[in-house]
Amino acid sequence: MALRGYLAQAMSYRYCDEILAEAREVVKEFSAYGIEMWSPAIEEGVPDKHVKLTPIDKEDLMAKWEIDKKEGMQNCHFLYDASGDMRSEGVGIERGYTRWWMWRPVVRRKDAPHYFSISTIEEDGILYTHKQAAAYVNKNWNNRKKWVFWKLPHILYGIPKLVAFQIKSLFLW
């Protein structure tokens, strides 16, 4: 089985052809290391046209979100946030879902070197190009053993802390 990643990228109000070009570049860079990438832009059929991606209705959005979660994020070993310094509410939700609910690595691309921040502490990797991100993921999680040794401490130490925190929160009132 190959290492699989979920590509999170800002999409709303961006040009469709630019979204697809970025997705294809990410897929190419990661596939050079044998890493499969799941891209919502590719899977959902974003048109290859120079038009802005506009919001869709609630039912379509909910259907696509379910596909992204069940076929994309839940079947991937890590999430790669390619958005750089663009802010995207959707990418933020995807990052949180992957890192804090599924306890899986999150690697982000930044547009320029950044100062030491909470992102430096909480993210599993911050890189500046898709190529650097692919090499980083390959180095850290390129086989089952490395991925399991990353994930196991999160399970062993995280579950007792999670339970204790939730019980403690019952007494906040």
How does pLDDT run across 9-63, given as a tens digit for each residue? Answer: 999 889 999 999 999 999 999 999 999 999 999 998 899 999 998 877 888 888 8
Do 113 and 160 lie in one domain? The reply is no
**Domain hosting residue 156, numbered range:** 146-173
| Secondary structure of residue 51 in the 3-state scheme | coil
One domain for residues 17 and 42? yes
- End-to-end CA gap in the chain: 48
Q: Residues 131, 159: one domain?
A: no
Same domain membership, residue 158 and residue 137:
no
- pLDDT score recorded for residue 62: 86
Is residue 41 a contact partner of residue 143, using CB atoms and an 8 Å limit? Answer: no
Number of domains forming the structure of the chain: 2
